[in-house]
């Protein structure tokens, strides 16, 4: 429009200057073009003017002779390739190569073969590069034809067409026409490349760039003229053969390697092979093959052999674990991860090993508890001399228990290291680890007791002189084990028992640590678990208050009794504290009550009155077996200036000793008399007498006859020669500490625990049924188990029994006609 | 054709003779090539001025030169 608006200027008609007016003589022009093409192919193009050639082609196309030109060029190329290039290639094709590619026997040495192969490769590469160059030039010259003619008639460009010709005339020509010798250069080429790759794999040095250019050629050629990506010659003819050959190679290598290498070497080798193949794809072959060849190596070398490698005697996973071969394990993990995202085999092997080692620990512990006392615990290479140090002749079983926990923790540490260093913190493996640990820890029936003992020991002694962080770490470790224990209620029972001893006997070193422990347990297991333990602590503080209140109360009374003893009271809520465990004689009503000496009895009554005034309706039961007393004793014949010593003894011992107050010096009292006067249960009595009269350092009493056992007829004297360098002497009661239970105690505990569990199960059943009203048997059981697994693993039979009993007591009823069996809640 | 890889005479001598194209037209073509280069990445480029009388000849030259 603009042009028209401007338009005084006439649009000049185009000059017919582009030679369109002269008659085009096709033949002469073609002859000229053909000779030029010849020159191009002979690399003699410097005399040719591009413009002239281009103009010629341009003219021919303008004159609608494009089709003829196209055909002629094709013919020309065909002739050139068939007559010039092909013979050159055939020339370098030595018979040995032919034989090799047909699979015949190769007599020639590797070197010859290699030389011949390289020659062929080089010739092919040369031919290909020449052809490429020429065709680029030709295409340039015939650009106009490509642009106009080929596009209009939907012909492949001349370049593509000539590439196809190269494929057909150079690579695909059968070498020896005949029915059974249908090999072409392409096949020979494949064989040669494969041969070279094999040599590379075997460690020979090959000309990688040469190979690369030949592969590049294959990549540049297509099956069809449409040049579809997936029809590259490389993909259609070479790659399958390559993969097949590799498969064979690695299958062979895998089986030989398995025979003469150990697992570590195998892993190293496999890893090396994989990275080698990756390199090869990048530097020598095509990146297209990368994934496929990796798959081949993985299946042939790793997947098919992995299980055997893992199980390999003397060097497999077991060996690696035992010898801390973290790096090898890491490789193993890496390989497994390649072929199997779940790493089943590796997982199984490790699990088996964990359980095996765990059972070893268990068995060793059992052996240690049954074996006669030995100077040190058997087969433990314990690094920390902490418990080994003979600070106290710890009960053998208790040592075994602590050793057990230590051993398990060591095992856990070891696997944790593997887990983070070798297994890249793999989630799946972690669950497997956890499962295995749970398995073997729960297979050991005393695990909860032992763990609690471990805490007990540490609370009493182990954390002495440790920093807060160390304590924290120690507790965390214990908590980890707790996580594995299924019967958490058992643990709770034991822990409570041990804790109560610690609290009442003031054996706990650090209340902070105790609290820390409880808060950790709370986080791990939940509120309900620690409720009672917390209540125990609360009782302790309340008792402290109570004691000071009582003291004030006494002071107000203004009873100036110089002989009056100070008293500290712990009032314990009976439901929260494991009193039954502490006082094994409380069963039945006729539990013997200790007769306190009069001055103590007075205080006792005073407090009872005070307490019941404060809280009416409560009942106080005195647990004399749990208490301790400080008494000041006067030893007339003791060496040294001061003849008094403070004795810290148990309540019973105090009661016994007070008896001697009333005795004239030199007089004796028999055991039987003591029992009659104090009403202390016999075995408590013997224990206390033992600690007072038998133990060397704390011999306050002299026994007659001198023997270890205490009999009813034994006589006791006050030991006036008693001497101790310390002002304060602590007289522990023999075997009153926390120790492993013997089997009767244990079955007792188990029975009690089962009773508790019964209650818990019933409560759970009722809770569930109240909510659901009606539920099938299977579902009910499943829900109960699900609710209770946090505390313990309920036994299905027990659940069934509890349901039965609930039905009897008419909490539930069976729904008669229902199938499958179901229950209904009766409100 | 000036590509040194293709060893045509033009590539060697560095000189192309375009005998079939009129000088004025060729100048315009060169102007266009320069214009093209100058505004390679620019937006809102002012139109190039093309004298109407040269249109057809330019068209033919463009077809020939593939620009």
List chain B residues with CB under 8 Å of A48. 8-9
Write down the residue that tokens 């058997």 correspond to. Answer: A378
Q: A325 and A319 in contact (C-beta within 8 Å)?
A: yes
For residue B47, CA distances in Å to A209, A429, A713, B36, B56 come to 50, 69, 130, 11, 18
Q: Percent of chain A beyond pLDDT 70?
A: 73
Please answer yes or no on whether B53 and A18 come within 8 Å at the CB atom. Answer: no
| More confident of the two residues A394 and A149 | A149
CA distance A6 to chain B (A): 9
List chain A residues with CB under 8 Å of B51. 9
Please answer yes or no on whether A144 and B6 come within 8 Å at the CB atom. Answer: no
A133 and B CB contact within 8 Å? yes
For residue A5, what is the nearest residue in chain B, using CA coordinates?
Answer: B52
Q: Which phi and psi (to 5°) does residue A463 adopt?
A: -85, 0
List chain B residues with CB under 8 Å of A147. 66
Give the nearest partner residue to A6 out of B1, B3, B52, using CB atoms. B52
Query: What pLDDT sits at residue A739?
Result: 54
Q: In this structure, is residue B11 part of a structural domain?
A: no
Please answer yes or no on whether B6 and A140 come within 8 Å at the CB atom. Answer: yes
- Interface probe with A: pick from B2, B4, B8, B14, most Cβ of A within 10 Å: B8
Query: What pLDDT sits at residue A21?
Result: 47
Q: If pLDDT is split at 50, 70 and 90, which confidence band does A508 have?
A: low
- Interface probe with B: pick from A45, A146, A147, A151, most Cβ of B within 10 Å: A45
- Render pLDDT for A312-336 as a digit per residue (tens, 0 to 9): 666 666 677 666 677 777 777 777 7
Q: If pLDDT is split at 50, 70 and 90, which confidence band does A640 have?
A: low
A20 and B CB contact within 8 Å? no
ipTM for the predicted complex: 0.79
Q: If pLDDT is split at 50, 70 and 90, which confidence band does A392 have?
A: very low
Give the nearest partner residue to B52 out of A3, A18, A143, using CB atoms. A3
Q: A657 and A633 in contact (C-beta within 8 Å)?
A: yes
Q: In this structure, is residue B6 part of a structural domain?
A: no
In this model, does residue A191 exceed pLDDT 70?
yes
CA distance A164 to chain B (A): 22
Burial class of residue A237 (count of CB atoms within 10 Å of its CB; 0-12, 13-18, 19+): buried
Q: Using CA atoms, how far apart are residues A303 and A752, in angstroms rounded to an integer?
A: 53
Query: What pLDDT sits at residue A337?
Result: 72
Question: Cα–chain-centroid distance for residue B14?
Answer: 16
- Which segment of A142-146, A452-456, A568-572, A783-787 scores lowest on mean pLDDT? A568-572
Residues of chain A numbered 42-81 and touching chain B (CB < 8 Å) = 43, 45-51, 54-55, 58
Query: Across the strands, what pairs with A646?
Result: A632, A728
| More confident of the two residues A183 and B47 | B47
Q: Using CA atoms, how far apart are residues A766 and A758, in angstroms rounded to an integer?
A: 12
Structural domains for chain A: 26-231 (1.20.1310.10), 245-321 (1.20.1310.10), 344-525 (no CATH), 562-730 (3.30.230.130), 743-825 (1.10.10.10)
**Residues listed for chain B:** 67
For residue A43, what is the nearest residue in chain B, using CA coordinates?
Answer: B7
Give the nearest partner residue to A17 out of B1, B11, B22, using CB atoms. B22
Residue B39 belongs to domain spanning: 21-65
Please answer yes or no on whether B66 and A147 come within 8 Å at the CB atom. Answer: yes
In this model, does residue A638 exceed pLDDT 50?
yes
A798 and B CB contact within 8 Å? no
The predicted model gives A37-43 an average pLDDT of 79
Q: In this structure, is residue B54 part of a structural domain?
A: yes
Domain count, chain B: 1
A1 and B CB contact within 8 Å? no
The predicted model gives A534-549 an average pLDDT of 79
Query: What pLDDT sits at residue A537?
Result: 78
Query: What pLDDT sits at residue A389?
Result: 35
Query: What pLDDT sits at residue A106?
Result: 46
In this model, does residue A101 exceed pLDDT 70?
no
- Which segment of A56-65, A180-189, A201-210, A588-597 scores lowest on mean pLDDT? A588-597
Q: In this structure, is residue B41 part of a structural domain?
A: yes
For residue B49, what is the nearest residue in chain A, using CA coordinates?
Answer: A3
Indicate the Cα dihedral angle A361, A364, A365, A369, nearest 10°: 180
Query: What pLDDT sits at residue A587?
Result: 40
Give the nearest partner residue to A15 out of B6, B19, B57, using CB atoms. B57
Indicate the Cα dihedral angle A181, A186, A188, A192, nearest 10°: -160
Q: Using CA atoms, how far apart are residues A623 and A543, in angstroms rounded to an integer?
A: 14
Query: What pLDDT sits at residue A3?
Result: 44
Q: In this structure, is residue B14 part of a structural domain?
A: no
| More confident of the two residues A358 and A183 | A358
For residue A355, CA distances in Å to A408, A417, A452, A761, A769 come to 11, 17, 22, 30, 39
Query: What pLDDT sits at residue A608?
Result: 77
Please answer yes or no on whether A50 and B64 come within 8 Å at the CB atom. Answer: no
Q: Percent of chain A beyond pLDDT 90?
A: 0
In this model, does residue A51 exceed pLDDT 50?
yes
For residue B51, what is the nearest residue in chain A, using CA coordinates?
Answer: A3
Q: In this structure, is residue B34 part of a structural domain?
A: yes
**Across the A/B interface, how many CB contacts are shorter than 8 Å?**
76
Please give the mean pLDDT across all residues of chain A.
72
The predicted model gives A113-127 an average pLDDT of 78
CA distance A192 to chain B (A): 31
In this model, does residue A388 exceed pLDDT 60?
no
Q: If pLDDT is split at 50, 70 and 90, which confidence band does A401 have?
A: confident
Q: Using CA atoms, how far apart are residues A658 and A701, in angstroms rounded to an integer?
A: 12
- Render pLDDT for A790-800 as a digit per residue (tens, 0 to 9): 777 777 888 88
Q: In this structure, is residue B53 part of a structural domain?
A: yes
Please answer yes or no on whether B51 and A9 come within 8 Å at the CB atom. Answer: yes
Please answer yes or no on whether B64 and A133 come within 8 Å at the CB atom. Answer: no
CA distance B17 to chain A (A): 7
Give the nearest partner residue to A51 out of B18, B56, B59, using CB atoms. B18
For residue A756, CA distances in Å to A518, A525, A759, A760 come to 22, 18, 5, 6
pTM higher than 0.80 for the full model?
A: no
- Render pLDDT for A481-502 as a digit per residue (tens, 0 to 9): 777 777 777 777 777 777 777 7
Q: In this structure, is residue B35 part of a structural domain?
A: yes
- Render pLDDT for A341-385 as a digit per residue (tens, 0 to 9): 667 777 777 777 777 777 777 777 767 665 443 333 333 333 333
- Render pLDDT for A564-619 as a digit per residue (tens, 0 to 9): 566 666 777 666 666 554 544 444 344 456 677 777 777 777 777 777 777 777 77
CA distance A247 to chain B (A): 42
């Amino acid at each position: 429009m603009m042009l028209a608006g401007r338009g005084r200027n006439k649009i000049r008609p185009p000059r017919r200057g582009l030679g369109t007016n002269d008659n085009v003589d096709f033949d002469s022009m073609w002859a000229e073009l053909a000779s030029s093409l010849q020159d191009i192919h002979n690399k003699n193009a410097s005399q040719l003017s591009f413009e002239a050639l281009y103009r010629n082609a341009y003219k021919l196309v303008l004159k609608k002779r494009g089709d003829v030109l196209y055909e002629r060029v094709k013919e020309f190329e065909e002739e050139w390739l068939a007559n010039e290039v092909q013979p050159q290639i055939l020339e370098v094709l030595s018979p040995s190569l032919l034989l090799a590619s047909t699979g015949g026997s190769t007599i020639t040495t590797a070197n010859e073969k290699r030389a011949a192969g390289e020659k062929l490769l080089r010739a092919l590469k040369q031919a290909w590069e020449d052809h490429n160059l020429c065709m680029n030039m030709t295409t340039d010259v015939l650009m106009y034809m490509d642009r106009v003619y080929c596009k209009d008639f939907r012909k492949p460009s001349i370049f593509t067409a000539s590439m196809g010709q190269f494929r057909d005339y150079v690579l695909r020509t059968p070498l020896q026409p005949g029915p059974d010798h249908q090999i072409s250069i392409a096949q020979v080429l494949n064989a040669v490349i494969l041969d070279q790759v094999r040599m590379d794999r075997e460690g020979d040095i090959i000309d990688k760039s040469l190979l690369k250019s030949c592969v590049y050629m294959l990549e540049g050629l297509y099956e069809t003229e449409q040049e579809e990506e997936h029809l590259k010659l490389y993909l259609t003819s070479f790659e399958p053969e390559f993969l097949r050959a590799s498969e064979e190679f690695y299958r062979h290598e895998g089986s030989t390697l398995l025979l003469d290498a150990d697992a570590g070497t195998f892993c190293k080798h496999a890893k090396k092979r994989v990275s080698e193949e990756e390199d090869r794809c990048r530097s020598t072959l095509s990146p297209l093959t990368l994934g496929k060849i990796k798959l081949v190596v993985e299946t042939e070398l790793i997947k098919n052999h992995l299980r055997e490698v893992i199980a390999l005697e003397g060097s497999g996973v077991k060996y690696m674990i035992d010898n801390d071969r973290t790096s090898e394990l890491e490789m193993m993990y890496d390989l497994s991860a390649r072929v199997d995202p779940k790493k089943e085999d590796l997982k199984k092997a490790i699990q088996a090993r964990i359980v095996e080692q765990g059972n070893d620990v268990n068995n060793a512990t059992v052996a240690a508890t049954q074996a006669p006392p030995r100077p040190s615990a058997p087969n433990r290479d314990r690094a920390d001399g902490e418990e080994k140090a003979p600070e106290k002749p710890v009960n053998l079983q208790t040592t075994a228990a602590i050793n057990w926990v230590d051993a398990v923790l060591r095992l856990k540490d070891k696997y944790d290291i593997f887990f983070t260093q070798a297994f890249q913190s793999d989630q799946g493996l972690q669950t497997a680890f956890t499962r295995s640990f749970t398995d073997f820890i729960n297979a050991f029936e005393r695990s909860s007791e032992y763990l609690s003992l471990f805490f007990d020991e540490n609370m009493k002694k182990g954390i002495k002189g440790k920093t807060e962080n160390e304590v924290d770490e120690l507790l965390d470790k214990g908590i980890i084990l707790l996580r594995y224990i299924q019967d958490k209620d058992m643990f709770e029972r034991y822990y409570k028992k041990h804790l109560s001893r610690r609290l009442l006997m003031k054996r706990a070193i650090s209340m902070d640590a105790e609290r820390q422990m409880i808060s950790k347990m709370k986080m791990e297991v939940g509120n309900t678990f620690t409720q009672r333990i917390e209540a125990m602590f609360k009782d302790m503080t309340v008792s402290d208050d109570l004691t000071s209140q009582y003291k004030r109360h006494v002071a107000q009374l203004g009873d100036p009794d110089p002989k009056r003893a100070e008293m500290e009271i712990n009032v314990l809520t009976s439901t929260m504290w494991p009193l039954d465990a502490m006082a094994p004689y409380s069963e039945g009503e006729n539990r013997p009550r200790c007769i306190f000496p009069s001055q103590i009895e007075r205080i006792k009554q005073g407090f009872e009155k005070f307490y019941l005034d404060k809280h009416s309706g409560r009942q106080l039961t005195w647990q004399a077996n749990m208490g301790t007393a400080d008494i000041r004793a006067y030893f007339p014949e003791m060496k040294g200036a001061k003849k008094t010593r403070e004795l810290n003894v148990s309540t019973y011992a105090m009661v016994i000793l007070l008896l001697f107050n009333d005795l004239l010096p030199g007089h004796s009292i028999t055991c039987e008399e003591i029992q009659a006067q104090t009403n202390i249960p016999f075995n408590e009595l013997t224990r206390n007498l033992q600690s007072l009269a038998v133990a060397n350092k704390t011999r306050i009493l002299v026994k007659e006859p001198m023997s270890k056992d205490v009999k009813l007829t034994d006589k006791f004297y006050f030991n006036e020669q008693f001497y101790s360098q310390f002002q304060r002497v602590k007289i522990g009661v023999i075997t009153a500490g926390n120790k492993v239970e013997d089997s009767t105690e244990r079955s007792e505990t188990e029975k009690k625990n089962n009773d508790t569990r019964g209650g818990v199960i019933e409560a759970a059943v009722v809770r569930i049924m109240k909510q659901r009203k009606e539920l099938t048997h299977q579902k009910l059981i499943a829900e109960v188990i699900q609710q209770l697994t946090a505390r313990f693993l309920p036994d299905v039979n027990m659940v069934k029994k509890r349901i039965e009993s609930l039905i009897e007591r008419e909490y539930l009823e069976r729904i008669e006609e229902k199938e499958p069996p179901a229950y209904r809640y009766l409100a | 054709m000036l590509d040194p890889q293709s060893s045509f005479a033009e590539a060697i001598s560095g000189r192309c003779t375009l005998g079939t194209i009129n000088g004025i037209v060729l100048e315009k073509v060169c102007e266009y090539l320069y214009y093209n280069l100058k505004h390679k990445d620019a937006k809102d480029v002012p139109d190039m001025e093309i004298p109407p009388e040269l249109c057809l000849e330019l068209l033919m030259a463009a077809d020939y030169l593939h620009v």
